[in-house]
A and B are shown apart, each in its own frame.
Chain A
Amino acid sequence: MSAERAAPSLRWLEALVLPLANLVLALLLSGLIIRLIGESPLAAFRLMLSGAFGSQEALGYTLYYATNFIFTGLAVAVAFHAGLFNIGAEGQAYIGGLGAGLVCLGLGSLPFWLVAPLAIVAAALFGAGWALVPAWLQARRGSHIVITTIMFNFLASALMTWLLVNILIKPGQQSPETREFAPGTWLPSAHDLLARIGLSFAPSPLNLAFALAIAASALVWLVIWRTRWGYALRVAGKNAAAARYAGISPARVTIAAMLLSGALAGGLGLNELMGAEHRILLDFPGGAGFVGIAVALMGRNNPVGIVISAILFGALYQGGSELSFDMPHVNRDTVVVIQGLVILFCGALENVLKRPLSRLWSR
């Protein structure tokens, strides 16, 4: 009977044991590959672990990468709760960063406390704006959002290349990048922030955007689970017919959810541009929009889960980078394969282990 799934232990199993088991499986397979390459898997994993968490600098880089993934993971999750698969976080982050960057370039003379909020708003607005067209097409015309958001990723990169090469480029320079933002617009680094309260933390790109990402996670949790608007969003996402029955317009929810999703993706621009690069450059999202899909899947679209899995992916990036730095036989492609395996097992094959595990459990 249907009561078979009532056991609360199963939910716990789904939320915790399953992702962990998937992770272990992915790492086992990665270990096999490292073995085949001729390195010791154990040493490699130790290297990755210490490379990701072993020092303040390592931790700084890990959390810095995680910041991007939190923003994009949240973006994917919010859309997902509304039943929409937003593949466009990459492009939304790109354009969102443009918004933040334009504010920093144009209003760089303003004091930080004024320019930072403006830049945050601009990043959100630009990101949301970029999500609006696919959202509108889905809501009013039924054009599939997966297709349109993918197309908008390409449009975003075409637009940004054009802008950076023709308009925003710093004159007399080869590289399509803008001039550096005025230092007054930079998001303070963790190093500086902690120094102000007397704590020492090694320099790294980790910056205030991490705190913003955590705040955004809390906000998303609050909006999705503690407001009537979030309720409407979840109803529309789970059962469109029930939404119409309840007087909720699925079309309106689609548009609103995508706006929020795009705004969250725009947060990546704050971390990358205002926090680390201090200029607008080509392709700064660097695929984080797509990693966000895996992060959201693995985090089960729950902000707490997303923060945890974003840190895991941050560790994979940072630890992987250390790995390819220190192990001569492990090149960057091997690291990409390891990252790919984790995404495959934790994201795409998420439910493969579900049955055997729950069977084991009910024994």
Chain B
Amino acid sequence: MNKKKWFAVVLTGLFALTLLAGCGNSGKETLNLYSWVDNFDEDMIKKFEEENNVKVNYTNFANNEELLAKLKAGGADYDLIQPSDYMVASMIKQDLLEPLDLNNIPNFQYVTDRFKNPEYDPDNKYSIIYTSGVTGIAYNKKYVTEEPKHWEDLWNAKYKGKVLLLDDNREVIGMSLKKAGKSNSSTNDEEISAAVDDLRNLVPNVLAFDTDSIKQKMIAEEGWIAMMWSGDAAFTQAENPDIEFVVPEEGSTIWSDNYAIPKGAKNKALAEKFINFMLDPQNSAKNYESIGYSNPVTEAKQYQSEEYNNNHMINLTDDELGRTEWLLDVGDKIQMYDRFWSELKSGR
């Protein structure tokens, strides 16, 4: 055989080997966890693997729509997923989730009452909260000297060209609806168009629409005042101590990421074991402190550092949480939101 042929043979062999390696299995039980990037403390995952002699296969999605598309396409064998609130509702409607057996998750008792029995999944039939956050106003004290208390403050002409908004039609139109004292999930045509008309006056103040790197824009002081998620605000403040965060008085939007098990999961029992493990007060303290999001397990307070417990952006008060509202599915009206959004952003 000449050199080229040898090369081809070797290459084919290597290719076959990699294929086989893909099928390789250590014989351990595997939990296929599909979630957001960096959503768990790696040490806690390792601890779970060791205690139960299993393997956790943790893969990531970038947004809820990607998760939904994967589930609907079938074929993907996930045991445990982490959809957001509205996506849980949508998945229940489309019969994509397996009911949870709460008897296998005794640590569910530790979840604070506020986050039990949520509107998007009554009685926690299909989901348990993982973490949550609230949309509010982040501002830089150097430039915004008076503490903003209302959404109206974003409209202030002083902040022209310095306002940052989330790049998300439901969040922004929902904010304008809350400002007018309406539900952030309104399906009333007049309410929605009035809210959008109000936003048209805000657009000249806007520096940029951004969800993914809005934090950098505040840290670098490009923007002075922003509509921001509480968790992102905590991160931003750690980098730039001039930044503060408030939940406006007329209320705002709350979101959550949840545990859920997709229909037909191969390892439902192991998934429930994982949820239970993560809800254990001591485990949860370590996990949430590492990822920097809020912990729904109140019993974990005693195991958490003072610094974490005192962060008001991670531990929102009952009063602040009390004036928030979930974004609910608006059905066909989403097309109206989408159209108005295109109008707003293209200045038409």
Q: Does chain A bind chain B?
A: no
Give chain A's interface residues, CB within 8 Å of chain B.
Answer: none
B residues near A (Cβ < 8 Å) are: none
